[in-house]
Each structure stands twice: as structure tokens, then as C-alpha cells.
A and B are shown apart, each in its own frame.
Chain A
Amino acid sequence: GAVVSQHPSRVICKSGTSVKIECRSLDFQATTMFWYRQFPKQSLMLMATSNEGSKATYEQGVEKDKFLINHASLTLSTLTVTSAHPEDSSFYICSARTGSQPQHFGDGTRLSIL
């Protein structure tokens, strides 16, 4: 089946640090990649939709200058959390899709800001 790899799986860093998370589709070219955030005991919330070669589309309430998304190729998208603060601590998950297929999710990045 489709495989999506996300790296790193766990990040612990100090407040004010910028953190980059990579999402790769390993065995297919992803038309679109999505970035989600999940707080404890809550559902996944879509942050942004990323298409290769174009600017990401952010959901309402998500700061585009805070969460920088780069979609350099059909197999790679990156999310950079700039100047992270404790309230940014969360589980960040990417997904990728192609054609009419369902989204396949990366294994997530658990971000803890001290």
C-alpha cells in the first residue's frame, strides 16, 4: 500500500526555536499533501493544503507566517514551525493523496516545546 514517511517522529526543543518537519510519499507521486495538528483527546484539525509548486492554502485561524509550508516536489513537503512556543506543542501529521485515492498519513511528529 501507499507509504508516507514523516521525520522526525519526536522533537523536544526550547521556546523560540524553529522546527522543520518533513513529509515524503515513498512509493507514489502525491498530487496534494495536507498538514494536520492534533491536540490530546481532540480530533485532527486541518492546518493547510499543499500542492507542488504553488503556495499552500491555509485554513482559517492558521498563521501562514508561523507555519511555513514548502512543497518542493511531488514527493516532499515540509512544515516549519517558526519561533515555536509551548502552545505549539502538539502532534503534527501529514498526509498525501493522488488521483481519487484516499489520503495516506505519515506516522506523525510529536512536538514538545519547553
Chain B
Amino acid sequence: RKEVEQDPGPFNVPEGATVAFNCTYSNSASQSFFWYRQDCRKEPKLLMSVYSSGNEDGRFTAQLNRASQYISLLIRDSKLSDSATYLCVSSTSGTYKYIFGTGTRLKVLA
């Protein structure tokens, strides 16, 4: 079983739709979580950190459920420019090493 698991998709949604991705992690010692966005053949770019209380940044909302060991990302009012692969990342305190999920591919259609 992979340490961080994501549905690879693709999720094909129309512009303006709301879409949600989930990610599960198996290491209960994981302390920090992030969502990164990766465009085709490019490097990952930090989208947002994920906090225990949940956090929002514009159209993006991240949630963390430690009891069930999953993280979610909600994108409201999808734009064409949101089309990318969204990477879920966990990190264990002290090592700062990242464990990446395989990513969820999103296509926003006109």
C-alpha cells in the first residue's frame, strides 16, 4: 500500500463547477500536509499548506481529518487555468521529507 494515496482521475469538469479531491495517508506520524499543483512537464508549485482547523485561500479550501487520516482539497468556481495535476504531500516532523501521492489530474472544460 502506498503511503499517500490519491485517485489519479482524470476529473473532467465544466468551468464554474466545484470539484473535490481526497487523499489518504497511512503514516500516523505524519505531521504536515500540503497540496502542490504540477503542470505538465513542469515542477510542483505550492498551492497551500493544510492546517488541522481547515484553511481557505480564495477559491481553494483544504481540510485535514487526522482521525480518518485523510486530506481534502475543494476548488470552487473552476477556471480553465486550474487544469493541472494536484499532488497531495505528507511530511513527518523532524525529517522534513515529503511523501508525494501520485497526483489527481483535473481538466476544466470550456
Residues of chain A whose beta carbon lies under 8 Å from any beta carbon of chain B:
6, 32, 34, 42-46, 49, 91, 93, 95, 97, 102-108, 110
Contacts and interface: CB of A to CB of B under 8 A. Distances in A.
Contacts of A105: 43-45
Contacts of B99: 46
A55 B41 CA distance: 30
Interface of B: 34, 41-46, 49, 87, 95-103
A6 B43 CA distance: 10
Contact of B97 (A43, A49, A93, A106): A49
Contact of B103 (A43, A45, A46, A106): A43
A49 to B, nearest CB: 6
A43 B98 contact: no
A103 B32 CA distance: 12
A3 to B, nearest CB: 12
A34 B95 CA distance: 11
Nearest to A31: B96
A32 B46 CA distance: 17
A44 B49 contact: no
Contact of B43 (A45, A97, A107): A107
A45 B43 CA distance: 13
Contacts of A95: 98
A43 B102 contact: yes
Given A46-B97, A91-B41, A103-B46, 19 more contacts: A34-B97, A34-B98, A42-B102, A43-B100, A43-B103, A45-B100, A46-B98, A46-B99, A49-B96, A49-B97, A93-B43, A102-B34, A102-B46, A105-B43, A105-B45, A107-B42, A107-B43, A108-B42, A108-B43
